[in-house]
Amino acid sequence: MSDMIHDEVIVYSQPSCGQCIATYRALESKGIRYRVVDLSEHPEAVDYIQELDSRYRGAPVVVVDDQDHWSGFQPAEIDRIAQHRS
């Protein structure tokens, strides 16, 4: 787990993804800045998320840094990073 939470997380997403929308809303509700990378527009990003964890098969994949990331809508993870924001 990362000791330092970056200012912005990256959400690798796909259009019309319900879990992605839930993730955006949860991040916004906690005041966490994020940037969306649409996997349909950036297919090269799929290789990156597969390098992070070969089990990642669906969106969203949320990346805090190369050691701190998860797949799917994970409210507990969002709460965790919200608690560590400076």
Domain boundaries, given as residue ranges, for the chain: 8-83
Give, for 35, the enclosing helix (H) or strand (E): strand 33-38
Q: Residue 2: what pLDDT?
A: 39
CA distance 44 to 41: 9
47-14-21 Cα angle (round to 5): 130
pLDDT (average), residues 36-47: 94
Q: What percent of the chain has pLDDT over 90?
A: 80
State the sign of the Cα–Cα–Cα–Cα dihedral 27, 45, 38, 56: negative
pLDDT higher than 70, residue 3: no
pLDDT higher than 80, residue 7: no
Q: Which of 3.40.50.410, 1.10.10.60, 3.40.30.10, 2.40.37.10 would CATH assign to domain 8-83?
A: 3.40.30.10
At 21, give phi and psi (nearest 5°): -60, -45
pLDDT per position as a tens digit, 13-29: 999 999 999 999 999 99
Confidence class for position 6, pLDDT limits 50, 70, 90: low
Global pTM value:
0.88
Instruction: Provide the token pair at 5.
Output: 């939470």
Count of alpha carbons within 13 Å of 76, Cβ hemisphere only? 2
